[in-house]
Amino acid sequence: MEDFLMIGLLLVLCATGIAIAFMRDLLVVAMLSGIFSFVCCAVFVLFDAPDVAFTEACVGAGVSTVLTIAAIRLTGRREKREGRRASVLGLTLACICGLALIYGTLELPRFGDPRAPSQTHVAPHYIDRTAEEVGVPNIVTAVLGSYRGYDTMGETVVVFTAALGVLILLGGAQSRPLRRGDAPARKDQDVVLRGIAALFIPMTLFLAPYVQFHGAYSPGGGFQAGAILGGAMILYALVFGIDRLNQLVPERVLRVIAALGVLTYGGTGVVTVLLGHRFLDYDALGARPAGQQIGLTAIELGVFMTVACVMIILYQRFASRGDQ
């Protein structure tokens, strides 16, 4: 049964991917890529990776789709048909590469094989020792925050840097100040849409802290919670207008909070060093598991602040662009 579900979902995924390649209307492409992400999300759940599915659902299907549409608004909707030569050449190359890769897969361990090298290397350590060494049930959170805390710090910095990049690229003039009489410009908007948004946004806002603080016990954590909060704010801007969002959370505040998030993460590491342990070794903060839990909470908070603010900044920048 599970095999059929897997094959079905993967086929839908491939079909969506191929459909994206053939579509010329970029708005349709953006919508299809949203569907693509949702199907992908279902595959991740099926493959026992709920944390990843969670992230893909809010980031891949939500934020990326909105950002793509916001960019298409600025760059134009129609795509030019490519030359025949380019498409034949590309197709040939893709087919040759694909066949070579498929030939390569014949040697790979079969799907779900417990004796595969990837299951016997470092994973058993994480699974066997997390309860004792970190003391949180969600192994993914333990690995993310404690065992591989360096990696995660790097990723947080990358997210922050990307926001800086967008701020520089789409920066220049500040988004125009809100004038009196601007705000209710979209009053004629669909009542149903506004009603549903008014119902969903508060629920989403409540979901974010739950995902944040329960992340050690169930799928979730700073990345997901940040993306959910960011998504809720983007939804608010989509329905009620970007000016209202800019008024609610000005960009200068978001920039400071995003930087503070990175600082919280790095600062936790510096504190552990000052207490005589290694960088991001949470045992410095107290005996196990309390010290580990304090450290995880601190860095997850840093991740949450950075990711949430970066998501909102990214959307604000794209949405405010046309108004200048």
Site for other proteins in 120-149 (CB under 8 A): 122-123, 126-127, 130-131, 137-140, 142-144, 148
Binding residues among 296-315 for other proteins as defined by CB under 8 A: 307, 310-311, 314
Q: Which two tokens stand for residue 254?
A: 């978001």
- Compare residues 170 and 273 and give the one whose CB is closer to other proteins: 170
CA distance 276 to 128: 27
In the complex, minimum distance from the CB of residue 134 to other proteins, in angstroms, rounded to a whole number: 10
Binding residues among 180-219 for other proteins as defined by CB under 8 A: 217-219
Piece in contact with other proteins (CB under 8 A), picked from 164-172, 183-191, 204-212, 287-295: 164-172
Rule CB under 8 A: say whether 82 interacts with other proteins: yes
Piece in contact with other proteins (CB under 8 A), picked from 26-34, 259-267, 270-278, 287-295: 26-34
Could you count the other beta carbons within 10 Å of the beta carbon of residue 44? 19
CA distance 304 to 7: 35
- Compare residues 152 and 175 and give the one whose CB is closer to other proteins: 152
- Compare residues 131 and 270 and give the one whose CB is closer to other proteins: 131
In the complex, minimum distance from the CB of residue 153 to other proteins, in angstroms, rounded to a whole number: 10
- Compare residues 26 and 273 and give the one whose CB is closer to other proteins: 26
In the complex, minimum distance from the CB of residue 202 to other proteins, in angstroms, rounded to a whole number: 24
| CA-based nearest residue to 313, from 233, 205, 212 | 233
Residue pair 296/145 in contact by the 8 Å Cβ criterion: yes
* CA 278 vs CA 4, 12, 268, 269: distances in Å: 48, 47, 11, 8
Residue 280 falls in which region: left (phi positive, over 0), alpha (psi -120 to 50) or beta: left
The b-or-e profile of 299-314 (16+ CB within 10 A means b, else e) is: bbbbbbbbbbbbbbbb
- Compare residues 115 and 187 and give the one whose CB is closer to other proteins: 115
- Compare residues 22 and 287 and give the one whose CB is closer to other proteins: 22
CA distance 107 to 43: 23
Of positions 116, 193, 196, 199, contacts other proteins by CB under 8 A? 116
Look up residue 175 and give its DSSP letter.
P
* CA 89 vs CA 14, 101, 178: distances in Å: 21, 18, 51
Cβ neighbours of residue 159 under 8 Å, at least 6 residues apart? 306, 307, 310
CA distance 247 to 254: 12
Rule CB under 8 A: say whether 26 interacts with other proteins: yes
- Position 205: which residue type? L
Of positions 38, 43, 235, 293, contacts other proteins by CB under 8 A? 43
- Compare residues 17 and 266 and give the one whose CB is closer to other proteins: 17
Piece in contact with other proteins (CB under 8 A), picked from 25-33, 199-207, 236-244, 264-272: 25-33
Binding residues among 53-72 for other proteins as defined by CB under 8 A: 54-56, 59-60, 63-64, 67-68, 70-72
Piece in contact with other proteins (CB under 8 A), picked from 221-229, 256-264, 267-275, 294-302: 221-229
In the complex, minimum distance from the CB of residue 248 to other proteins, in angstroms, rounded to a whole number: 21
Binding residues among 238-297 for other proteins as defined by CB under 8 A: none
Of positions 211, 281, 317, 320, contacts other proteins by CB under 8 A? 317
- Position 79: which residue type? E
In the complex, minimum distance from the CB of residue 195 to other proteins, in angstroms, rounded to a whole number: 29
Residue pair 167/160 in contact by the 8 Å Cβ criterion: no
Of positions 35, 38, 42, 83, contacts other proteins by CB under 8 A? 83
Residue tagged 């060494």 (tokens): 133
Residue pair 158/307 in contact by the 8 Å Cβ criterion: no
